[in-house]
Amino acid sequence: MSTTSKPGASSKPGASSKPGASSKPGAPPGPRGHWLLGNLAAMQHDMPGLLRRVAREYGGVSRIRVGPTWMYLIADGDIIIDLLTHRASELRKSNRTRWGLAGHLGDGLITLEGAQHRRHRRLVQPVMHTRSIAAQADTMAALTEARVASWADGSTVDILAEMQDLTLRIVCAALFHVDTPEETERFVAAVHDFAASLNVVLRRAFPIPGWLPTSGNRLRTRTVRAVDALAYDLIRRRRASPGEDLLSLLVLATDADGEPALSDVEIRDELMTMFFAGHESSASALTWALYLLAEHPAVADQVRAEVAALGVERVGMADLARLPLLGQVVAETLRLYPPAWVFDRSPLADITVGGYRIPRGANVLLSPWVVHRDPRVWDDPDAFRPERFAAVQAPPRTAYLPFGDGPRMCVGNRFAEAEIPIVLATLLPRVELSLEQGQTVRPEGDATLRPRGGLRMVVSRR
């Protein structure tokens, strides 16, 4: 069992300061910060650190003033699971997220709501079936082998950039299986620029209307246009001649009457959603896994021995069950550094959460990052201890939610759960990666949780 009960662990964070049962719920506590800007500077400097400090000081339900507005932080796993499952109909994606993402992703699973979201999820989820993903395992391993072979012995690489490019190529191959290396390079370059321009939008402290001719908006228009030209051309080609890639499965999806279920625009939007969610999340998780293994070389050597004992040329999906330590390393990495480290919702009406009132339309932050490091739930929560996940009994659902939960749980979780260990099992036997001296490794809260400024590592061939 990876969690522990401690004195007071059964009480909810912030319970002692809740209003009395007979009183009208009031606003949760939280730091006011600067008289004008609130906590804007702290949030921009180190948002992950700010969220942990606020949760530690004010409890599982709190609020953070950012300029003239308040953000409501939920850092209690029991409350988060309740909101994502039993009370999911009371919430929607926040306006900030929908406005920020829609210009790039359109109407895909991340931005859709209600009946439209349920319909798209029903159609897209079979595309991410285990059998479909297993068919991509050899490609994942082959692309990883090629990436490792490109690193010179003794060279220094930015492993974040390397993993971003690798996972982008993997998702390109899985989704498209494009015909030529030249076409692959065009897709990779276009989607790389697309993702970079989306991150520009997501870093904004406040939403900016899409029609304003800012440099970020012009970049978005240019990169979206380039990706759309490639995507729509490929969708037309797959409609004429389906292949064995995931795009073909989307094209072949049908409604109950046997007619094509998704229009070209809907397929394009789901493709862009898969691109963004797929390669960013896996790249971040792989980067942190390699960082943690560099910090714990004995564990890395044990994983290498485990892979060697398989006696296979390439690790596939069927082999992962025989790599328990590698699975524990991946799970512990996702605990310490969940890519979806914080996500938001907005109440459709005033709601009461943990005894406090949260108003309609407020921006509510739910943070697995904080839950995964809660000392009331996890022993020595900041320590890398893969053996937490060696026990027969899994950690409570409310303590570990790296892919969210409920009807909006990440539909690509199976893809990530295959890709991350296959890449590691392919990479680790071939090279040792050590941290370049003199760098400070600190998580940055971007679209995903990743090392600020990248992660420089020195390559030693085995």
Rounded distance between C-alpha atoms, residue 280 and residue 264, angstroms:
24
Q: How confident is the model at residue 18 (pLDDT cuts 50, 70, 90)?
A: very low
Whether the model clears a pTM of 0.85, i.e. scores above it, the answer is yes
Q: How many helices (H) and strands (E) does the chain have?
A: 15, 12
Rounded distance between C-alpha atoms, residue 335 and residue 332, angstroms:
5
Question: Residue 7: its pLDDT value, please?
Answer: 30
Rounded distance between C-alpha atoms, residue 2 and residue 186, angstroms:
45
Q: How confident is the model at residue 11 (pLDDT cuts 50, 70, 90)?
A: very low
Answer yes or no: is pLDDT of 143 > 60: yes
Taking residue 5's Cβ as centre, other Cβ atoms within 10 Å add up to 10
Lowest pLDDT segment from 280-284, 335-339, 409-413, 414-418: 409-413
Average pLDDT over residues 410-437: 92
Question: Residue 17: its pLDDT value, please?
Answer: 41
Q: What are phi and psi of 87, to 5 degrees?
A: -115, 20
Answer yes or no: is pLDDT of 409 > 90: no
Question: Residue 41: its pLDDT value, please?
Answer: 93
- Angle at CA of residue 128, ends 451 and 183, nearest 5°: 70
CA-nearest of 202, 369, 207, 353 to 288 is 369
Question: Residue 135: its pLDDT value, please?
Answer: 83
Rounded distance between C-alpha atoms, residue 86 and residue 138, angstroms:
39
Higher pLDDT, 63 or 410: 63
What percentage of residues in the chain have a pLDDT greater than 70? 94
Answer yes or no: is pLDDT of 369 > 80: yes
Reported as half-sphere exposure (CB side, CA atoms, 13 A), residue 307 has a value of 22
Contact 341, 373 (CB under 8 A): no
Element (H, E) at 42: helix 40-58
* Residue 115 burial by Cβ neighbours in a 10 Å radius (0-12, 13-18, 19+): exposed
Average pLDDT over residues 405-415: 81
Question: Residue 260: its pLDDT value, please?
Answer: 73
Higher pLDDT, 104 or 311: 311
Beta pairing, strands 443-445 & 449-451: antiparallel
Answer yes or no: is pLDDT of 21 > 70: no
Question: Residue 141: its pLDDT value, please?
Answer: 96
Local structure of residue 392 (DSSP, 8 states): S
Rounded distance between C-alpha atoms, residue 347 and residue 324, angstroms:
41
Check if CATH label 1.10.630.10 holds for domain 15-461: yes
Question: Residue 122: its pLDDT value, please?
Answer: 82
Question: Residue 205: its pLDDT value, please?
Answer: 65
Answer yes or no: is pLDDT of 443 > 80: yes
DSSP secondary structure, 96-143, as one string: HHHHHHHHHH-SSTTT--HHHHHHHHHHHGGGG-HHHHHTTHHHHHHH
Q: How confident is the model at residue 20 (pLDDT cuts 50, 70, 90)?
A: very low
Q: What is the pLDDT of residues 55-104, one digit of tens each?
A: 999 999 999 999 889 999 999 999 999 999 999 999 998 877 777 777 88
Question: Residue 8: its pLDDT value, please?
Answer: 34
Strand segments (E) across 285-413: 343-347, 351-353, 356-358, 363-366
Average pLDDT over residues 166-187: 83
Question: Residue 138: its pLDDT value, please?
Answer: 92
Q: What are phi and psi of 18, to 5 degrees?
A: -70, 150
Q: How confident is the model at residue 280 (pLDDT cuts 50, 70, 90)?
A: confident
Q: Which residues of 314-334 are buried (b: 16+ CB within 10 A; e: fewer)?
A: bbbbebbeebebbbbbbbbbb
Q: What is the pLDDT of residues 201-230, one digit of tens each?
A: 777 766 777 778 888 889 889 999 999 998
Q: Order of strands, edge to edge, in the sheet holding 363-366? A: 61-66, 69-74, 363-366, 343-347, 91-92
Q: What is the pLDDT of residues 231-254, one digit of tens each?
A: 999 899 999 988 877 788 888 887
Distance set, CA 295 to CA 36, 292, 426, 445 (Å)? 42, 5, 19, 22
Higher pLDDT, 277 or 369: 369
Q: How confident is the model at residue 179 (pLDDT cuts 50, 70, 90)?
A: low
Question: Residue 385: its pLDDT value, please?
Answer: 97
Local structure of residue 157 (DSSP, 8 states): E
**Residues 72/77/79/85 CA torsion (nearest 10 deg):** 110
Contact 276, 268 (CB under 8 A): no
Question: Residue 292: its pLDDT value, please?
Answer: 98
CA-nearest of 215, 167, 232 to 448 is 167
Average pLDDT over residues 30-39: 92
CA-nearest of 107, 122, 117 to 265 is 107
What percentage of residues in the chain have a pLDDT greater than 90? 56
User: What are the residue ranges spanned by the domains of the chain?
Assistant: 15-461
Q: State how far Cα 181 lies from the chain centre.
A: 28
CA-nearest of 304, 174, 338 to 248 is 174
Answer yes or no: is pLDDT of 5 > 60: no
Answer yes or no: is pLDDT of 151 > 90: yes
Summary mean pLDDT of the chain:
88
